[in-house]
Amino acid sequence: MVVFTVLQGYVLGVKDTGLLYLFLAAVSGQAFIGWSNDYIDADLDKSLGRTTKPVVRDQLSDLVIPMIVSLVVVVPTSFLAGGLTGGIAHLVAVASAFVYNRYLCRTSFSWLPYAISFGAYPLFLAQSASREFYPTTGLYFICALIGVIIHLLNALPDIEIDRKAGLGGVAVSLGRAKSLVLVGVIVVLVIAISSSELNQISFFEE
């Protein structure tokens, strides 16, 4: 996600210190999301014996300072990269991911934070390129739907493990077959919206 963000920012015209701020915001945001997830899921990871996780290796306390540092970095760099509007959009994306980790990942609303985070991201990228640059309405929907697709595909391999562990999530509730059908429906919807958007000059507008 960090590489994609920086490359997309460069394509949109972000240069020099703006690109550095964009990189720092993206990498610190992703780091906070990942480390906070490990911290929140500590008991679960230990019970399932996930040996690659910090709590299983008795390194959970080592996450506290990096989490704080990443949070301290992501707030100012988000605003430095995207201005007020773009910075808020990026922080909404990070906060939504944290809400997923803390509250919604094992519920039937597990798809919602993905939709919000991915839906907010194009505004952050657009504002990083120019404060007069905004995504089209269709692009917001496309990115939100792509977020839902990614969530479902990420969850598919662990459906049986999660079910046996008594864990929830929309993919667990639907099952593998229905989840794949839903992915297919959303892909068709994304293609339909994209086709409509491509009739315009750009996915972005001033």
Domains of the chain (ranges; CATH) run 2-205 (1.10.600)
Residue 120 has phi, psi (to 5 degrees) of -80, -25
Q: Name the band, by pLDDT with cuts 50, 70 and 90, for residue 38.
A: confident
Whole-angstrom distance, CA of residue 69 vs CA of residue 8: 26
| Own/partner pairs, 198-204, CB within 8 angstroms, 24+ separation | 200/136, 202/136, 203/122, 203/135, 203/136, 203/138, 203/139, 204/12, 204/126, 204/133, 204/134, 204/135, 204/136, 204/139
Task: Give the pLDDT score at 168.
Answer: 81
Check pLDDT > 80 for residue 39: yes
Q: Name the band, by pLDDT with cuts 50, 70 and 90, for residue 29.
A: very high
- pTM as predicted: 0.90
Q: State the chain's mean pLDDT as an integer.
A: 89
Q: Name the band, by pLDDT with cuts 50, 70 and 90, for residue 116.
A: very high
Task: Give the pLDDT score at 1.
Answer: 84
Give per-residue pLDDT as tens, 54-96: 554 555 567 888 999 999 999 999 999 999 999 999 999 999 9
